[in-house]
């Protein structure tokens, strides 16, 4: 293991590691219930804006632009804490949601269970 990998995995400094598209996964979890609300991607700018404002920002791969969750709907995600994984290439964002997190109006983007080839609402 090289020195930077050891520092990233064992050290106490936040050293985010972005993939070859300059992105990292962000799993949004309700701070109170611990329910997974959504998954989105962050680039360096989205991470910086999230840390600066305290509200979840992401990078839209389809629109190729930065976006703040709730900027049009008002359903923002106030970040309570961020947790990184062992090699710092993914984040859990524990948030206080101001309304539904899914663009469909569902509380969570994860509202259907896979049942063989079918989906069942939970």
| Residue 58 CB-density burial (10 A; 0-12 exposed, 13-18 middle, 19+ buried) | buried
Q: For the ranges 3-17, 65-79, 85-99, which has the lowest average pLDDT?
A: 3-17
**Residue 83 pLDDT class (50, 70, 90 cuts):** very high
Write the CATH number of the domain with boundaries 3-121: 3.10.20.810
pLDDT value at 96 more than 70: yes
The pLDDT-based confidence of 3 (bands split at 50, 70, 90) is confident
Contacts of 62 (CB under 8 A, 6+ apart): none
d(CA 56, CA 19): 20
Q: Report pLDDT for 4.
A: 79
Q: How confident is the model at residue 32 (pLDDT cuts 50, 70, 90)?
A: very high
In angstroms, the CA 67 to CA 23 distance is 14
The domain ranges of the chain are 3-121
């Amino acid at each position: 293991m090289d020195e930077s990998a050891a520092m990233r995995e064992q050290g106490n400094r936040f050293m985010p590691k972005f993939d070859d598209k300059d992105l990292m996964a962000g799993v949004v979890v309700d701070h109170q219930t611990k329910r997974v609300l959504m998954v989105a991607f962050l680039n360096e700018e989205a991470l910086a804006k999230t840390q600066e404002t305290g509200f979840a920002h992401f990078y839209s791969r389809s629109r190729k632009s930065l976006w703040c969750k709730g900027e049009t709907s008002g359903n923002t995600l106030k970040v309570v804490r961020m947790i990184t994984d062992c090699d710092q290439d993914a984040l859990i964002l524990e948030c206080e949601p101001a309304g539904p997190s899914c663009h469909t109006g569902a509380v969570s983007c994860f509202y259907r269970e896979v049942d063989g080839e079918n989906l069942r609402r939970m």
